[in-house]
Chains A and B, each alone.
Chain A
Amino acid sequence: MAGLSRRAFLATTTALAGSFALPNDLLARSLAAPLTPSGAPSTLQQTIRLSQTANQQYRNLVAAPGEPYIVRTDLLGQQPNPKRAAARRSLAYLGHFSDIHIVDAQSPGRLEPLIAVAASFIDASRPQDTMTVQVLAQMVEAVDALSTSPLTGAPMNAALNTGDSADSRNSLELQWCIDMLDGRSVVPNSGKRGEYQGVQVWDEADYVYHPDNPGLNEFGTRGFPAVPGVLQAAVDQNVESVGLRVPWFTVYGNHDTLFMGNIQVESALASWAINDRKSSLWPATVNLMANWWASNSSMFQQLVNTIRARNEFFAGVHTVTANPERKIFDQAGFMQAHLKSPATPGPVGHGFTQQNVDTGQTWWKTDVTDWLRVFGLDTCNQVTGADGAVPQDQFDWLRSELEQAQAEKKLAIVCSHHNSYTLENVAEPAIGPSQNLIHSDEFVAMLLEFPNLVAWVNGHTHINTITAHPRAGSGGFWEITTASCVDYPQQQQVIEIVDNRDSTLSIFTTTVDHQSSAAWNQGDYSQAGLASLSRQLAANAWQFEPLPRQGSALDRNCELLLPAPFDLSAITEKQLEREHAVSRARLLAGDVRRPQQ
Chain B
Amino acid sequence: MKSTRPTRRVGAAITVALVGIAALSGCSQVKGLAVQGNMNVIYLETAASDVLLSQNVAIEKKPVCTVNDSADYSCIGTAAGGVPITVTVPDSSGDPIMIITLGGKQVFSGSVLDVIEANSQATP
Residues of A at the B interface (CB closer than 8 Å) are 49-52, 57, 62-64, 70, 72-74, 119-120, 122-123, 386-387, 420-422, 424, 440-442, 444-445, 460-461, 463, 465-468, 540, 542-548, 550-555
Contacts and interface: CB of A to CB of B under 8 A. Distances in A.
Given A49-B121, A421-B38, 7 more contacts: A49-B122, A64-B123, A119-B33, A461-B42, A467-B62, A542-B32, A552-B119
Nearest to A51: B122
A74 B124 CA distance: 32
A53 to B, nearest CB: 10
A463 B122 contact: no
Contacts of A422: 36-38
A299 to B, nearest CB: 36
Contact of A424 (B1, B7, B39): B7
B37 A552 contact: no
A434 B35 CA distance: 27
Given A547-B117, A548-B42, A552-B46, A57 B28 contact: yes
A542 B29 CA distance: 5
A424 B11 CA distance: 11
14 contacts: A52-B122, A119-B35, A387-B8, A441-B3, A441-B4, A460-B36, A463-B46, A465-B42, A466-B62, A547-B116, A552-B47, A552-B50, A552-B119, A554-B53
Contacts of A52: 121-122, 124
B95 interface: no
Contact of A554 (B8, B28, B59): B59
Contacts of A441: 1-5
Contacts, number: 125
B53 A548 contact: no
A553 B7 contact: no
A547 B45 CA distance: 14
Contact of B49 (A51, A420, A442, A554): A554
Contacts of A49: 120-122
Interface in B63-116: 64, 116
A224 B50 CA distance: 29
A461 B46 CA distance: 14
A543 B33 contact: yes
A122 B33 contact: yes
Nearest to B60: A73
A168 to B, nearest CB: 16
Interface residue tally on B, bucketed by range:
35 or more
The listed residue with most B CB atoms (<10 A of its CB), out of A467, A548, A555, is A548
A49 B29 CA distance: 13
A442 B39 CA distance: 20
B32 A544 contact: yes
B122 A543 contact: no
A556 to B, nearest CB: 11
A552 B53 contact: yes
A553 B2 CA distance: 28
Interface in B10-62: 28-39, 41-43, 45-47, 49-50, 53, 59-62
B77 to A, nearest CB: 9
Given A387-B36, A387-B37, A547-B29, A50 B53 contact: no
Given A445-B1, A542-B31, A74 B62 contact: yes
A62 B122 contact: yes
Given A461-B42, A542-B32, A547-B30, A74 B37 contact: no
A422 B34 CA distance: 12
A50 B123 CA distance: 9
Q: In the complex, which of the residues B37, B49, B50, B121 has the most CB atoms of chain A within 10 Å of its own CB atom?
A: B37
B5 A440 contact: yes
Contacts of A50: 120-122
Given A62-B122, A387-B8, A553 B37 contact: no
A545 B22 CA distance: 11
Contacts of A468: 61-62
B32 to A, nearest CB: 4
A62 B37 CA distance: 31
Nearest to A558: B62
B117 to A, nearest CB: 6
A422 B8 CA distance: 8
Contacts of B7: 424
Contacts of B37: 387, 421-422, 424
A548 B33 contact: no
B14 to A, nearest CB: 13
A132 B67 CA distance: 35
A43 B51 CA distance: 21
